[in-house]
Structure 1
Amino acid sequence: MDLASLEAFLAIADSGSFSGAGARLHLTQPAVSKRIAALEAQLGRRLFDRIGREVALTEAGHALLPRARRILSELDDTRRALDNLDARIDGRLSLATSHHIGLHRLPPLLRVFSRAHPGAALDLRFVDSEQAWAQVLHGQAELALTTLGPAAAPLRTVPVWDDPLEFVVAPDHPLAARGEVGLDELARHPAVLPDADTFTHRIVAGHFAAAGLAPTLRMTTNAMETLKMLASVGLAWTVLPHTMLDAQTTVLRVPGLRLARQLGHVTHAGRTLSNAARAFLAVLDGATG
């Protein structure tokens, strides 16, 4: 099978459209269509159903998907292993990171890395932490900087930053004048939190559940900046990292409770790290050591 056609197949499956695949591969939509037509002709199977602008995998497409990921992942791993025979750091580093880390932790690291290794090509993806883990698992990203959750093979996690969290409200929120509140009081007021399947939500919900309570959710969003805005206008209370605290919000102390999450990097234990990835981890170690 032609590897370029397999890359186009995966790009369509991941993006959900031929145009999205073209943007990802820097190809025109007709060029992507031509690759898929060639692959379908070679396999003798239709891989996508096209209904208007909607694109869906056929049964044959679903069967090919994990195998295509495995083939291209093995190829990437082989390329990295061969590139590592040369000590130069000028390959591509695919790095997935959460928006919060990208804004509040990553900039100084990127500055040092890009100045030390100008020949390295950085493929930077801003996604939710859980999506970043999935990209490393499936070989779409070599390295991820995210909120850390329970690790499971073959993923390997290394804590880098302890990220304390605080309950916050708007300065004119009814709870703001109290300063110190209990979880039962918080449960009686609306909250805005990250989605239920995120590591941060599980941390918060776990403390409420341990007390036999549950937050009263008004809405959820995974963008920390949006959570801060919603809390700052008095819509609800939320939980924010220390790095985001300012005069727009008031911190609420909950006696006997300390919220924190671990931030760090995620790699695949069964795949070879490129020289560029090793160099980035060295920068990370130097900045936090």
Structure 2
Amino acid sequence: MDLIDLKTFIKIAETGSFSAAAEQLHVTQPAVSKRLANLEQTFATPLIERLPRNARLTEAGKLLKTRAEHIIREVENTQALIQNLHENVGGTLSIATSHHIGLHRLPEQIRRFVKDYPEVDFDLRFLASEDAEQAVLNGDVELALMTLPETQNPLMEYHTLWHDDLIFVASKEHPLSTLDTPELKDLTKYRAILPAANTITFQKISTIFQRHQLQLRPSIPTNYLETIKMMVSVGLGWSVLPESMLDSSLQLLKIGQPLRRELGVIHDTRRMLSRAANAFLKQLEH
């Protein structure tokens, strides 16, 4: 039984799709089918039911998925323990990062780290915070730098690194910019350019409006804050952005509703961190 076959089986189970599993594993779909066939031959039973629109676990597949996840964690933990016996810090460090952190917070951290640990290679993946957390849970990456959620997963360890103050903004030509003291109800008359509804940042913004029994008018959702800034600057709507992004292209709207999000790093407590991950985590916290 090959570890790669097990990882492929888990990816099929997670995505419910042979093509999606192949895309995420960076292999061909026939290679995914072959790996599954190897496992089904080993256990002499079907593990995945092939349906027209998706792939579904059989009862044997459900049993194997739970055991396979445990087996892979144990193997990876053992690999990390053996690697940690060596004094040097090397190997590949896999990190998921939100786009905003990856552009504005991470570059200096990586610059410092590669100077101290030149033998470490980075595997960087730019994902939405919610997807970055899932990537850690799936074992696809060791660490994720992201907006920290209000509700935390007990399997994860969360480290707050930065406090990100958020502000209401519009273009200088937007009607809201003519108001000396705009209120939340004024914002509801105009389109809002915000991240997708399932994001942590959107939920923080939405909560404020719900508290005042007001209805948002979200339009053109995107999770790229730099794109939101551009759309706001040309007058497509108002938004909420990190204070650090305020410049001459935007008008600050003094709403009087303090907003803050916590940015940080997370890892799975069930997995042993590599020396590289431990070293990077230590640097981030100091």
- Say how many residue pairs are matched: 283
Match of 1:195 in 2: 196
- Partner of 1:189, secondary structure, is coil
Percent identity reads: 42
**Change in 2 beyond 3 A, CA 1:198/1:19:** closer
Distance 1:71 1:275 in 2: 21
1:37-116 paired onto structure 2 within 5 Å? 37-43=37-43, 44-47=45-48, 49=50, 51=52, 55-60=54-59, 61-116=61-116
- Unaligned runs of at least 5 residues, structure 2: none
Contact 2:46 2:58 (8 Å CA) reproduced: no
**Change in 2 beyond 3 A, CA 1:116/1:21:** farther
TM-score, normalising length: structure 2: 0.88
Contact 1:104 1:243 (8 Å CA) reproduced: no
Match of 1:260 in 2: 260
**Change in 2 beyond 3 A, CA 1:223/1:48:** farther
Match of 2:280 in 1: 280
Q: CA deviation at 1:13?
A: 4.3
**Change in 2 beyond 3 A, CA 1:8/1:113:** same
1:134-283 paired onto structure 2 within 5 Å? 134-150=134-150, 151-255=152-256, 257-283=257-283
Partner amino acid, structure 2, of 1:39: L
**Change in 2 beyond 3 A, CA 1:169/1:107:** same
Q: CA deviation at 1:23?
A: 5.6
Out of 28-37 and 233-242, give the one that drifted further.
28-37
**Change in 2 beyond 3 A, CA 1:12/1:209:** same
Partner amino acid, structure 1, of 2:253: L
Distance 1:249 1:68 in 2: 51
Q: CA deviation at 1:138?
A: 3.1
TM-score, normalising length: structure 1: 0.87
Distance 1:25 1:200 in 2: 29
**Change in 2 beyond 3 A, CA 1:71/1:129:** same
- Partner of 1:156, secondary structure, is strand
Q: CA deviation at 1:28?
A: 4.8
Out of 162-171 and 223-232, give the one that drifted further.
223-232
Match of 1:10 in 2: 10
Distance 2:225 2:62 in 1: 35
Distance 1:22 1:57 in 2: 16
**Structure 1 vs Structure 2 CA RMSD:** 2.3
